[in-house]
Amino acid sequence: MQSYKEEPWQDFSGESAKNLHAKCLWVLVIDTSISMEPHMQELVEGLRAFKADVENDPVASERIEVAIVEFHEKVKVRCAPKLIDDMTIPEFSTGAYTFMAQGLERAMQVLDTRVEWYRGSAQPYYVPFVVLITDGEPNGPKDVHKVAMGIKKRMNSSKRSEQVMFMAFGVDGANMELLEEISDPMFPPMYVRNANFSSLFQWLSMSTKIVSHSTPDDLSLPQMIAESATDQEDFQRNV
């Protein structure tokens, strides 16, 4: 197995806020192991449609920030957190392994650094979301259960700066039992039938709009987002 080398990460201390609207960060953690290669074109097309749809919403476009982390035997931040207008669709690479734990760790690092920047620049913010998309089984040197346990603990934290929402989506070949184990009961993993990324990113677009048209202290948001996934015809709760 290839060794994992941690890449340095940046902070945002030199960045100025483009506006002072409340921000909601969505970190997409995307499995780009070799088994995902047949689906990459549809995934990229889904991302483009998602970007265009959110850009056309005058409220969401001022509030939604997106970051993209990809993982195989390397973990890369393909898009640092930024407003949807400034988001670039990356050219993904593929690799032989599925270092899911490291991908989630990097996603949380990106999230925490951005939240620290929100707080330091006096920007209100919503509880951020981490969305995992995978078709495989983790086979890296780190235990994904241990990493997921830390995320689940933060989902139930009473400390505002620690709170996060985590959702997992499995596509063809995904180990749904594992995704069930690492997910919180409020956000059970969903199986995306036929690797239908179009439906997945339509759901993501709808969810970001639900959040952006609410207030950061709306306690009903987590349940609303969870129910919106369950209602999608192309998602399955159990397989």
Give yes or no for residue 86 having a pLDDT over 50.
Answer: yes
- 8: pLDDT confidence band, cut at 50, 70 and 90? low
pTM above 0.85, yes or no: yes
Q: What are the tens digits of pLDDT across the range 26-50? A: 999 999 999 999 999 999 999 999 9
Task: Kindly state which CATH superfamily the domain 24-236 is placed in.
Answer: von Willebrand factor, type A domain (3.40.50.410)
What digits encode the pLDDT tens for the residues 158-189? Answer: 888 899 999 999 998 899 999 998 898 888 89
| Over residues 130-147, mean pLDDT | 90
Instruction: Please report the beta strands in the chain, taking only residues with DSSP state E, as ranges in sequence order.
Output: 24-31, 64-71, 75-83, 129-134, 165-170, 190-192, 235-236
| Cα gap 200→232, rounded to integer Å | 9
Residue bearing tokens 């006096």: 122
Which residues 6+ apart lie within 8 Å of 120 measured at CB? 13
Summarize the confidence of residues 150-156 as an average pLDDT: 91
Q: Where are the domains of the chain?
A: 24-236
